[in-house]
Structure 1
Amino acid sequence: MIDFGFDKIALIGAVALVVIGPERLPRVARTVGHLIGKAQRYVSDVKAEVNRSIELEELKKMKGEFEDAARNVERSVNNEIHQTSADLDRAWNELNVDDSAASGSHSDVDLRPMPQYRHPKKNWRLKRGATPQWYKQRNGVRVKAQSGAARVARFRPPQVRG
């Protein structure tokens, strides 16, 4: 940027005082100050926008690097899983081959699959009490929900008319 020393500013002020005159110099100086302030704000806005765009580019680059790293980790984990499952299958097959060779024939080896889990088909939302329903009905045990007003009306003593 332009480097103004004290001597250059004093020279410019003296020339402006002679050319413009002492009456209009304060108004011109105020206008020049406003224009310089606007220019500085514009330059700072441009700098901020450039910095934001640079940071955005850096963030995009960093995002791409993280995505690449995540893909590499996922790929390596999948490779390890496939390799481990292949090793387990190979070991399982070798175990079955060793067992069948030791028994002498395949008819002695039980190769049925393991039974699958079956849900017991109970309705877990229903509360199952240990007391039978007939006993509850005979002894007057409440089996249905009843509102407070209905309960009061049920147990209210009979009114005597007189």
Structure 2
Amino acid sequence: MFDIGFTELLLVGLVALLVLGPERLPGAVRTASRWIGRLKRSFSTFKAEVEREIGADEIRRQLHSEQILELEREMKAMKRGILAPMPTSDTGNSAEATPPAAETTSQDKTAQP
């Protein structure tokens, strides 16, 4: 991560031994390792949360793109006459959106000249 070699670690350890002394050095190492562990965990949690959000945004974008592609396919099919136009009624009932077909009875056929 920081590209610290063995000689740099040895130098830091010797300076810490001289500054803190042999009595306080083990406690300082434990405290430092706890803080480093907490930082690593918090960074990994943050990273996982960001990746999850990015993944969720990517899924939303993909779904939106698929919906747009499906609408484009329907429009092309309508232009070619393959698909009938969808009703634009807010009620959602297709029977109300289309007018009823005219029925022809036997009386209508005889009454016409």
How far off is 1:114 after superposition?
6.7
Count the aligned residue pairs.
Answer: 87
Aligned-partner residue type, residue 41 of structure 1: R
Separation in structure 1 between the aligned mates of residue 6 and residue 75 of structure 2, nearest angstrom: 66
| Cα deviation digits, residues 12-47 of structure 1 (max 9, x gap) | 000101110101111110000000000111111121
- Which residue number in structure 2 is paired with residue 43 of structure 1? 43
Separation in structure 1 between the aligned mates of residue 42 and residue 4 of structure 2, nearest angstrom: 21
Q: Give unpaired runs (5+ residues) of structure 1.
A: 83-111, 116-162
Aligned-partner residue type, residue 16 of structure 1: A
Greater C-alpha radius of gyration: 1
How far off is 1:77 after superposition?
3.6
- Which residue number in structure 2 is paired with residue 28 of structure 1? 28
TM-score of the superposition, structure 1-length normalised? Answer: 0.48
Out of 81, 97, 104, the residue aligned to residue 113 of structure 1 is: 104
Separation in structure 2 between the aligned mates of residue 2 and residue 43 of structure 1, nearest angstrom: 15
Q: Give unpaired runs (5+ residues) of structure 2.
A: 85-102, 107-113
Tell me: higher relative CO, structure 1 or 2? Use CA pairs within 8 A at least 6 residues apart: 2
What percent of counterpart residues are identical?
A: 35
How far off is 1:75 after superposition?
2.4
Separation in structure 2 between the aligned mates of residue 56 and residue 41 of structure 1, nearest angstrom: 22
Q: Which has the higher helix share?
A: 2
- Which residue number in structure 2 is paired with residue 62 of structure 1? 62
TM-score of the superposition, structure 2-length normalised? Answer: 0.67
Aligned-partner residue type, residue 5 of structure 1: G
